[in-house]
Amino acid sequence: MRIKITMLMLLLSASTHSSWADSNEVNLYSARKEALIKPLLDEFTRETGIKVNLVTGKASALLKRLVTEGRNTPADLFITTDAGRLHRAREAGVLQPVSSQQLNSVVPANLRDADGYWYGLSQRARPIFYVRGKVDPQQLSTYEALADSQWKGRICIRSSGNIYNQSLVASMIANIGEMKTEAWAKAFVANFARPPKGGDKDQIKAAVAGLCDIAIANTYYVAKMLTGKDQDLKKAAEAVAVFWPNQQDRGTHINVSGIGMTSAAKNRENAIKLMQSLVSEKAQQWYAEANQEYPVREGIPESPTLQSWGEFKSDGVELSKLGELNADAVRLMDRAGWK
């Protein structure tokens, strides 16, 4: 009897594994909200017949879930924001490399992992936003210059626990070295108008409310404020203007939302098809128009809002380095008193 039961269990296991491998579906964990990805997934299903099972959640929670589920995770793909988080996923062992000539030809080398563990899907910049009429843009130049005494008590920015700020500091370490970055960070923190709190939109609202004169925020958030239905947010965004720092040297800091295949993926072929679909011209155009993000694919026009801000030079540092330098950036921010 024991032999028969064991054989039955083996047959069921093999059958289940086969159904996973042969099923016409793909399973996606996404740290991006459903509204920001679902239309693209529906279009992919219409074109290919491959069903996409979507699970959304907070970035840290989904990564923890992948680690906990291990080899038993149903997820084939993981989408999250910021190269720092993508690097954490790689370091946690929940991603595997993907070799795709199409992905490598479309996604620029600095916007993807060198070993294929993740690929950027969309870009956002993190420039300076200043209150119109209160700041002369001629006074602005670089991130480093925000440490000057003229900005004492005039800067709003999120906390050091925010991955976007960690990656900004990591980019500075990559470009100017840890010693110079730490000296900058200490003077920069001394210029804060208030202890950091809230998200990027809150920094813009605080600036317009008179709590500070300039704010650091991702373009994605401010563009959404301008194009959204909330009139108070729109009015706040209209009261600020964008300044692209470091245009005479390395360029403005950028980051990505990105995707990677899980190490336990059971629908590999379908997963690669979806990855390739998300960097197609149609998908990239949708990102630009609906999500107010910069495409990773060249030749795709930006949204009217982003176009109105003008062209800018972006920092070409390999974003994978930002993940590698994340721990150094966090420790540096702690030493600088960035709460």
Residues 41-77: pLDDT tens digits? 999 999 999 999 999 999 999 999 999 999 999 999 9
Say if residue 112's pLDDT is above 60.
yes
131 and 175 both lie in a single domain: yes
Mean pLDDT over 309-332 rounds to: 97
On whether residue 226 sits in a domain, the answer given is yes
Tokens (6 digits) for 306: 């982003």
Q: Can you give the residue range of the structural domain that contains 37? A: 2-123+255-304
User: Please, is 40 exposed, middle or buried when counting C-beta atoms within 10 Å of its C-beta (0-12, 13-18, 19+)?
Assistant: buried
23 and 115 inside one domain: yes
Question: What length does the chain have?
Answer: 339
pLDDT tens, residue by residue, 275-285 = 999 999 999 99
DSSP SS3 for 81: strand
Which pLDDT belongs to residue 13?
A: 38
Query: For residue range 204-255, what is the model confidence (pLDDT) as tens digits?
Result: 999 999 999 999 999 999 999 999 999 999 999 999 999 999 999 999 999 9
Residue 41 falls inside a structural domain:
yes
**The amino acid at 319:** L
- Whole-number Å distance between alpha carbons of 133 and 300: 34
Assigned domain for 237 exists: yes
Confidence class for position 290, pLDDT limits 50, 70, 90: confident
Q: Looking at the structure, do residues 192 and 114 belong to the same domain, yes or no?
A: no
| pTM tops 0.75 | yes
SS3 179: helix
The pLDDT of residue 212 is: 98
Tokens describing residue 285: 């155009």
Question: What pLDDT is recorded for position 287?
Answer: 84
Apex 290 CA angle, 80 and 114, nearest 5: 35
**Domains: count for the chain:** 2
